Amino acid sequence: NPYKCEKDYLTFFNCPDDTKIRIYNIVGKKERELKNPDREHKIIWDGTDSSGKPLPSGVYIAIAEDSKGNIKHIKFIIQR
């Protein structure tokens, strides 16, 4: 799943149907879970946690998993 950051959004491309992306902070706390809206092949994330608050600067891990069990890990940095 390639990804691209534009302003305050991170876009994950080439996501098969029913893909879920879980965002974790560096100590392993799950901050957010994202799903493919309307079966589009991309997922756009606004950098917020599950309560809608912007995540602070730091290192994060995204784990993308599709309905076939394929998993991809992506490590990235948020710098505010």
Torsional class of 30: left (φ above 0), alpha (ψ -120 to 50), beta (otherwise): beta
Q: If we measure between CA atoms, which residue out of 36, 37, 27, 32 comes closest to residue 47? A: 32
pLDDT (0 to 100) of residue 32: 98
pLDDT (0 to 100) of residue 16: 80
Query: How many domains does the chain divide into?
Result: 1
The answer to whether the Cα torsion of 31, 26, 8, 45 is positive or negative is negative
Confidence band (pLDDT; 50, 70, 90) for 3?
very low
pLDDT (0 to 100) of residue 80: 78
Residue 30: CB partners within 8 Å, gap ≥ 6?
22, 23, 24, 50
Query: Which CATH number belongs to the domain containing residue 50 in this structure?
Result: 2.60.40.4070
pLDDT of 6-65, one tens digit each? 567 788 888 887 899 999 999 999 999 998 866 778 888 999 999 999 999 999 999 999
Domain of 61, in residue numbers: 3-78
Average pLDDT over residues 60-78: 92
pLDDT at 5 over 60: no
